[in-house]
Amino acid sequence: MLSVRQSARLALILPCLLLCSCMETPQEKLIGRWFNKTNSIRFTAEGHVRWNSPRGTAQGYYTYDGSARRTSSSVPVRNLSLDLTRKGLPLQADFELEFLGDKLRLTPLSTANPGAIIVLKRAGKDDEETLIPLMEAPAIDTNSQATVLN
């Protein structure tokens, strides 16, 4: 039989454990469609990504490391890499991704276009574009010269 002290501890610990088990990891939080006036980016759990922008649609793969974060410095930390193809041409882009509530901020790490920060809002789960299945991302030719997306 549990003592009063043990029961009190259990009553405090159990809700914390339940809350922690229901929280999304950063990787799970990224899954879905994010958009603004000019861009729509969709991430899948399988590692596929599709980016619709004024330049056209690019598809491919992404890698995200939710544990990589900026420390006290003002230098962005690469935690999102995109390997895409657009119109048959390979594209590569590295970003620092930060979650801002129901938005995310992508800070490009390219020196070609510094400061072009992209802020996107999460689309709803019943969003029309989100419900369309993604086609499998095309194979990326690693032998050809990749273009930097930014």
pLDDT at 132 over 70: no
How far apart (Å, rounded) are the C-alpha atoms in residues 20 and 129? Answer: 31
Residue 109 lies in a domain: yes
> Residues, the chain, total?
150
Q: Is the pLDDT of residue 110 over 90?
A: no
- Residue 108 domain flag: yes
Distances in Å between the alpha carbon of 43 and those of 30, 120, 132? 7, 13, 13
CATH number of the structural domain spanning residue 57: 2.40.128
Number of H helices, E strands in the chain: 3, 9
AA letter at 61 = Y
DSSP helix/strand/coil, 8: helix
Q: Which amino acid is at 55?
A: R
Q: Say if 72 falls within a structural domain.
A: yes
pLDDT band at 74 (very low <50, low <70, confident <90, very high): confident
Instruction: Look at 36-45, 58-67, 68-77 and tell me which has the smallest mean pLDDT.
Output: 68-77
In a domain, 2, yes or no: no
Q: What is the pLDDT of residues 33-55, one digit of tens each?
A: 999 999 999 999 999 999 999 98
pLDDT of residue 92: 92
Q: Is residue 49 domain-resident?
A: yes
How does 15-24 read in b/e, with b if 16+ C-beta sit within 10 Å?
Answer: eeeeeeeeee
Structural domains of the chain, count = 1
Q: Which two tokens stand for residue 5?
A: 């002290």
How does pLDDT run across 76-103, given as a tens digit for each residue?
A: 889 999 999 999 999 999 999 999 989 9
Contacts of 62-66 with CB under 8 Å at 24 or more apart are 64/26, 64/27, 64/30, 64/97, 66/25, 66/26, 66/27, 66/29, 66/30
Q: What is the pLDDT of residues 6-27, one digit of tens each?
A: 656 656 665 655 555 567 788 8
Residues 118 and 89: their CA atoms lie apart, in Å, by 22
Please give the residue range of the domain that contains residue 93. Answer: 24-148
pLDDT at 75 over 90: no
